[in-house]
Amino acid sequence: MEGVKLNMQHSYLNNSKIRDVLENVNKVMVGKQEETTLSLVALLAQGHVLLEDVPGVGKTMLVRSLAKSLNCEFKRIQFTPDLLPSDVTGVSIYNPKELEFEFRGGPILGNIVLADEINRTSPKTQSSLLEAMEETSVTVDGNTINLQQPFFVMATQNPIEYEGTYPLPEAQLDRFLLKMKMGYPTKEQELEMLQKTSDQHPIEQIQAVMTKDELIALQNEVKTVFIESSIQQYIIQLISETRTHPSVYLGVSPRGSIALMKAAKAYALIDERDYVIPDDVKYLAPFVLGHRILLNSEAKFEGVTPEQIISELLARVSVPVRKEFQ
């Protein structure tokens, strides 16, 4: 296979840790296999997830079950209109006995952080997450505090049409590796949920199947996954097309290119491959690029969606064809 060197020594090709995590979470989340996989893609790629949907469809439960499966410290931030940035990052409090200020960390100092209903708070408080998500550190009173690893934010938001919501600024949206929706379950899935929770909630029964050190090791292995230069050029061409599309006011930034490549490498790892194929990019593009596209007024009036734009571009842009990708 020209240009692709398979390293059979990679531990992920013969262990079942990733599969164990997916199966564990799916014991709690009925019919949400895709959402679980995408969440793990973002976690392994060291990115963050934005979940948008109506209340009560399992957004919070997905995060909790993921944290429990990975034996990671779980923190929750309930965003409200009166929440302050210091409520997220922490605050320095004067200790009269020691005659000095002591830092008391906020909930952002966890491993897996649920930012619940992030669009119900003010833009100022929303922006308090920017440094943490991009730099894995927070600055309080001029002091920089590094966050512990692994660090993963899963933010939930209600649809912007709901009363009392603030649209996330573009800079905040760009920090999320991918955005997805949960959706309502089918009648059969909802019946299964009722049966599972009639006595005891299944999240109380699951146990950790991976350690933090094992997770960090897998995150490092994602970086070694091979991506052909032709696939990198394919990603760049897709991104470039978003910037010149007549319906787009603001296309995808270079951060989006990097995010799509990282996500594709993580997805390949989950699929027990140490190389990326074009189908990885095509599958992940709507989740990684959709929230990074701003439509112009005319497109919005006509009801065009970012997902339609991406679908059009995926059909138009030539896919790299090599015999090893077929």
pLDDT at 11: 46
Whether the per-residue pLDDT at 6 is higher than 60: the answer is no
Q: What is the pTM of this model?
A: 0.86
Three-state SS string over the chain comes to CCCCCCCCCCHHHCCCHHHHHHHHHHHHCCCCHHHHHHHHHHHHCCCCEEEECCCCCCHHHHHHHHHHHCCCCEEEEECCCCCCHHHHHEEEEEECCCCEEEEEECHHHCCEEEEECHHHCCHHHHCHHHHHHHHCEEEECCEEEECCCCCEEEEEECCCCCCCCCCCCHHHHCCCCEEECCCCCCHHHHHHHHHHHCCCCHHHCCCCCCCHHHHHHHHHHHHHCECCHHHHHHHHHHHHHHHHCCCEEECCCHHHHHHHHHHHHHHHHHCCCCECCHHHHHHHHHHHHHHHCEECHHHHHCCCCHHHHHHHHHHHCCCCCCHHHC
Average pLDDT over residues 238-249: 93
Average pLDDT over residues 115-141: 82
Domains within the chain, CATH numbers bracketed: 16-209 (3.40.50.300), 225-326 (1.10.8.80)
Q: Residues 48, 258: contact at Cβ < 8 Å?
A: no
What percent of the chain is modeled with pLDDT above 90? 38
pLDDT bracket for residue 323 (50, 70, 90): low
pLDDT at 93: 81
pLDDT bracket for residue 153 (50, 70, 90): very high
Mean pLDDT of the chain: 84
Q: Return the structure tokens found at 136.
A: 């894995």
Q: What is the pairing mode between strands 74-78 and 178-180? A: unpaired
Average pLDDT over residues 243-251: 92
pLDDT bracket for residue 1 (50, 70, 90): very low
pLDDT at 124: 80
User: Cis peptide before 107, with omega less than 30 degrees from 0?
Assistant: no
